[in-house]
Amino acid sequence: DAGVTQSPTHLIKTRGQQVTLRCSPKSGHDTVSWYQQALGQGPQFIFQYYEEEERQRGNFPDRFSGHQFPNYSSELNVNALLLGDSALYLCASSLGPSGPPLYEQYFGPGTRLTVT
């Protein structure tokens, strides 16, 4: 049973560029949430996708956007990268967007993004 997978593992980009991160949820899960974890901080909720729609969003600018595909996998896109976007980006999957099963979110290993 495959867990949550993310790609790439590491990424280096330049300020102003755009980046796309990918996530495949745990088998049987249909909801994907994205979190940003800056160095020395706890993860911060970016947004959640369910049924190919953004269901909830944290306090992040519109430069952060996403997509969910029919197979439940998801992408996180960040435009006009800033130095402050350097962080570990974590994807979490769950079954259902808001019911109790959601509370058992399974996290992937993350993508380490460095913006120079």
Residue 57's φ and ψ, nearest 5 degrees, are -140, 140
**Residue from the set 2, 14, 42, 84 that interacts with another protein by CB under 8 A:** 42
What's the Cα-to-Cα distance from 51 to each of 40, 42, 68, 69, 108, rounded to whole Å?
Answer: 33, 27, 8, 8, 20
Report whether the peptide linkage leading into residue 8 is cis, meaning its omega lies within 30 degrees of zero: yes
Count of residues touching another protein (by CB under 8 A):
28
Question: Binding mask 64-93 vs another protein (x if CB under 8 A, - otherwise)?
Answer: ------------------------x-x-x-
Write out the residues near another protein by the rule CB under 8 A.
33, 35, 40-45, 48, 55-56, 58, 88, 90, 92, 97-98, 100, 102-110, 112
